[in-house]
A and B are shown apart, each in its own frame.
Chain A
Amino acid sequence: MLNKRSSFTGGIHPPYSKGLTKAKQIELCKVPELVTIPLQQNIGAPCQSLVKKGDKILLGQKIGQPRGYVSAPVHSSVSGSVKSIETADLPTGVRFPCVIIENDGSDTLDPSIKPGKLEDFSREELINIIMESGIVGMGGAAFPTHVKLSPPSDKTIDTVILNGSECEPYLTSDYRLMIEKPDDIIYGLKVIMKILDVSKAFIGIEDDKPDAIYAIEAASKDESGINVVKLHTKYPQGAEKQMIQVILGRQVPSGGLPMDVGTEVNNVGTAAAIAETVKTGKPLYQRIVTVSGGAVREPKNLMVRIGTSFKDVIDCCGGWIEEPVKVIAGGPMMGCAQHTLIVPVMKGTSGILLFTEKEAYEREPSNCIRCARCVEVCPIRLAPLYISAHSLKGNMEEAEKLNAMDCIECGSCSYICPASRPLLPSIMVAKKAIIADRKRQAEADQHRQNKR
């Protein structure tokens, strides 16, 4: 084991609040009568529905076909029949067409699903399996994994990193996975290593999870080239760029990708999903969700079928003790607040948090006192106070000059601000405006070229 106490610059130490679910074994969530499966569950292009109202559907059947390469198909998480295809609220805060399937309760598996073995497949076949299984990054970003594992030929990947740091407070799904299914994680890692043709891999785990480190070390002790790295417990340790900096001592260039510095980072949950698919042939139709927060009657780590509504998942935890003031999809630092419980669990839904009034308490913002804490905690070394001030004045060009686009949206600045300034929200507004402006610029250039 490698001990990496040296750390990235900045970062915060929020209360981790993982005790609620840390010791809870992963349970199966009751499969609901009705699932709502969104036709877009990942970054990239949406899917086209392959089914229509009334169609009989099998468990694991592909129901959405991607309309672009940077996308992933979606599959049914139950067997039954299509009730309708309609637009519904998603936990990402948008409305999008979803396939609504009535569950017949039999879980009849699609007969085309067949078990396999890593040794039997070539690299191309493995990439194809991952693509066809609809696997995306399970840490929350939901970037299609087959795209990540197919770097252009001019990029050489020499090292693979698995992210087991789970630095978001409250969440314990990766932690439980590492303890309960370490072999799957290592198996999935070996698939990734075979695809990328690398012999060196690191699994980064924060040092507040000694039993996870122990389990993963035990599972990987006979494998060559796989090292467990003990990381300092600090948020955002699990951010891709920070992970690469700490483990490999490399910095992803501004505007670049990890492949630019010869590495790929995947979540341990993604590795386990890959293992499941390669071994059983089953596509990605369920995931582990941490249900936590002070308002939940019985906080749990649940294996949930994709498309199960938040309400059904919460019912599976005995409902709530007091009515929550805030419901969050994902972790408290980067998750998305919900206005309703009628939203489906998606491939990227790592947690459902029900916050009490006390947990959700927010103060009114007051004047920035220039205490510089945001500067000190920013893992990218930005000056959030200045970017935010420019953004709030609509001065997006100045925000761009101060490298607003490099913000990883970890929220450390907003967390630490004693004046409760809306630092991250205003920086996100600036980023959106800058992207829109760049797009306009590009279109104008295109237009000019066409005229010539």
Chain B
Amino acid sequence: MNLFTVSSSPHIKTRDTTSKIMLDVIIALIPAGLVSIWLHGVGVLWIVLLAVVSAVLTEYVVQKFMKKPVTISDLSAVVTGLLLAYNLPPGTPWWMVMVGSVIAIALVKQVFGGIGHNFMNPALAARAILLASWPAHMTRWIQPGTDAVTSATPLALANLADATGSATSGATVVMDLPSFQDVFMGNIPGTIGEVSSAALLLGAAYLLLRGVINWRIPITYMAATYVCTMIFGGVGFYDAFYQLFLGGLILGAFFMATDYSSSPVTPLGQVIMGFGCGILTAVIRIYGGYPEGVTYSILLMNVATPLIDKYTQPKIYGEVRKDD
């Protein structure tokens, strides 16, 4: 007599897997990395590789130590390492890169149960900890092509301009603010992965097309930042638009705020996530002590995610009001 496999329905499954999704994210991040290597030299490649290798190694060691199945083949640690490196300045010392990777994987991800269970974006949480611990290293920016000349980021300049009351097009700062073309292509100081909006948007388009992410979080995030920058910052249409391409906003909106584990699963929840991030980013940029608001706004919305999910469960098919 024959024995057949018996299992519960359904008996067919999609070919998509966690590792294929992660591979898509890696592919989408490559253009921004290439631009960065081109702008800052091969040094950033070592930072990126170091971050990735230490992230994967940390995952392996922690899982071995915790006697859990090793899941490095799902590629999620590679994504975390990449994102962490993309959030560091090009001149970050090697030991800080490694500390960041260990924090991201061991402290933020594995301690809480591994993939899917981290309540904050691991790379961003690590960045925040590094920024608080070694602020000088984390804010040493390099003008592309000049190698050693430290410089302020355009976002810091723009905020300075806003704070001193003159518009970004004001006479005192117009000299220092780069052209839109430089900003868009990435020829500005900033972290390894955030500078080239063009390369990031190319990757984002790939993720949208592949269905890895949807429009809800990134688009509402960008829109809310745009509107709030105008309202709170008192800047015009063009200047608010210009500022969308500064700092880590595009990297954050498309690649970090969309992190599955730490963002809502409901459609309405995702829109709320986007709006919340956008408002917080504009508020921090304009009123906060740091010029950059993306990291903290995403982390703040990350911790609100369980609540958002709880209160945004969609109305189900044929829902009858409970008091009927």
The answer to whether A and B assemble together is yes
Which residues of A are at the interface with B, using a C-beta cutoff of 8 A? 9, 12, 14-15, 169, 241, 245, 251-256, 323-328, 332-341, 353, 355, 359-363, 366-372, 375-376, 379-383, 385-386, 402-403, 406, 409, 411, 414-420, 422, 424-425, 428
CB distance from A297 to the nearest CB of B (A): 16
Once the chains are docked, how many angstroms separate the CA of A386 from the CA of B116?
Answer: 13
CB distance from B123 to the nearest CB of A (A): 16
Contact A418 B317 (CB under 8 A): no
Once the chains are docked, how many angstroms separate the CA of A199 from the CA of B76?
Answer: 59
CB distance from B25 to the nearest CB of A (A): 11
CB distance from B216 to the nearest CB of A (A): 10
Known: A326-B4, A375-B265. A424 touches B9 (CB 8 A): yes
- Specify which of B2, B14, B314 lies most central, judged by the most chain A CB atoms within 10 Å of its CB: B14
Contact B320 A424 (CB under 8 A): no
Since A15-B12, A425-B8 are in contact, a sample of 8 more A-B pairs with Cβ atoms closer than 8 Å, ordered by chain A residue number, is: A14-B14, A253-B318, A327-B4, A332-B12, A360-B11, A369-B18, A372-B270, A416-B14
- CB-CB < 8 A to A245: which residues of B? 317
- CB-CB < 8 A to B114: which residues of A? 367
Once the chains are docked, how many angstroms separate the CA of A381 from the CA of B313?
Answer: 9
Contact B1 A254 (CB under 8 A): no
Contact B18 A169 (CB under 8 A): no
- CB-CB < 8 A to A420: which residues of B? 13, 17
Once the chains are docked, how many angstroms separate the CA of A359 from the CA of B16?
Answer: 15
- CB-CB < 8 A to B260: which residues of A? 369-372
Tell whether B323 is near chain A: CB-to-CB under 8 Å: no
Once the chains are docked, how many angstroms separate the CA of A241 from the CA of B316?
Answer: 12
Once the chains are docked, how many angstroms separate the CA of A35 from the CA of B122?
Answer: 63
Which residue of B14, B17, B74, B318 is within 8 Å of A254 (Cβ)?
B318
Once the chains are docked, how many angstroms separate the CA of A377 from the CA of B101?
Answer: 35
Tell whether B210 is near chain A: CB-to-CB under 8 Å: no
The 7 closest A-B pairs by CB, nearest first: A411-B10, A372-B265, A425-B8, A367-B116, A251-B318, A332-B11, A380-B317
- CB-CB < 8 A to B209: which residues of A? none
Once the chains are docked, how many angstroms separate the CA of A424 from the CA of B114?
Answer: 23
Tell whether B117 is near chain A: CB-to-CB under 8 Å: yes
State which residues 265-320 of B face A: CB under 8 Å.
265-267, 270, 309, 313-320
- CB-CB < 8 A to B267: which residues of A? 375-376
Contact A338 B6 (CB under 8 A): yes
Tell whether B20 is near chain A: CB-to-CB under 8 Å: yes
The contact string, 1 if C-beta is below 8 Å from chain A, for chain B 1-40, is: 1111111111111101110110000000000000000000
CB distance from A276 to the nearest CB of B (A): 30
- CB-CB < 8 A to B4: which residues of A? 324-327, 337-340
Which residue of A327, A353, A363, A381 is within 8 Å of B316 (Cβ)?
A381
Selected A-B contacts with CB under 8 Å, 26 pairs: A14-B14, A169-B12, A241-B318, A251-B318, A254-B316, A254-B317, A254-B319, A338-B6, A340-B4, A366-B71, A367-B115, A368-B116, A369-B18, A369-B21, A369-B116, A370-B116, A372-B265, A383-B265, A386-B309, A402-B313, A414-B10, A415-B10, A415-B14, A417-B14, A419-B17, A420-B13
CB distance from A88 to the nearest CB of B (A): 14
- CB-CB < 8 A to B21: which residues of A? 369, 371, 418
CB distance from B307 to the nearest CB of A (A): 14
- CB-CB < 8 A to B116: which residues of A? 367-370, 419
Once the chains are docked, how many angstroms separate the CA of A29 from the CA of B29?
Answer: 57
CB distance from B174 to the nearest CB of A (A): 44
Contact A369 B261 (CB under 8 A): yes
Contact B316 A406 (CB under 8 A): yes
- Specify which of B8, B71, B266 lies most central, judged by the most chain A CB atoms within 10 Å of its CB: B8
Once the chains are docked, how many angstroms separate the CA of A382 from the CA of B317?
Answer: 9
Count how many chain B residues have C-beta atoms less than 8 Å from C-beta atoms of the other chain.
Answer: 43
Interface SS of A by simple majority: loop
Once the chains are docked, how many angstroms separate the CA of A165 from the CA of B21?
Answer: 32
- CB-CB < 8 A to B115: which residues of A? 366-367, 369
Once the chains are docked, how many angstroms separate the CA of A372 from the CA of B264?
Answer: 8
- CB-CB < 8 A to B261: which residues of A? 369-370
State which residues 112-128 of B face A: CB under 8 Å.
113-117
- CB-CB < 8 A to B309: which residues of A? 383, 386
- CB-CB < 8 A to B266: which residues of A? 372, 375, 383
- CB-CB < 8 A to B2: which residues of A? 323, 340-341
Once the chains are docked, how many angstroms separate the CA of A51 from the CA of B263?
Answer: 63
Known: A326-B5, A370-B116, A375-B265. A335 touches B11 (CB 8 A): yes
Select from chain B the residue with minimum beta-carbon distance to A367. Answer: B116
Select from chain B the residue with minimum beta-carbon distance to A342. Answer: B1
- CB-CB < 8 A to A406: which residues of B? 316-318
Which residue of B6, B7, B18, B318 is within 8 Å of A418 (Cβ)?
B18
- CB-CB < 8 A to B74: which residues of A? 366
Once the chains are docked, how many angstroms separate the CA of A337 from the CA of B7?
Answer: 6
CB distance from A184 to the nearest CB of B (A): 30
CB distance from A411 to the nearest CB of B (A): 3
Once the chains are docked, how many angstroms separate the CA of A369 from the CA of B15?
Answer: 16
- CB-CB < 8 A to A9: which residues of B? 317
Known: A251-B317, A368-B116, A375-B266. A418 touches B14 (CB 8 A): yes
CB distance from B279 to the nearest CB of A (A): 23
Once the chains are docked, how many angstroms separate the CA of A203 from the CA of B110?
Answer: 54
Once the chains are docked, how many angstroms separate the CA of A375 from the CA of B20?
Answer: 20
- CB-CB < 8 A to A414: which residues of B? 9-10, 13
Contact A363 B17 (CB under 8 A): yes
Once the chains are docked, how many angstroms separate the CA of A251 from the CA of B6?
Answer: 35
- CB-CB < 8 A to B12: which residues of A? 14-15, 169, 332-333, 359, 415
- CB-CB < 8 A to A381: which residues of B? 314-317
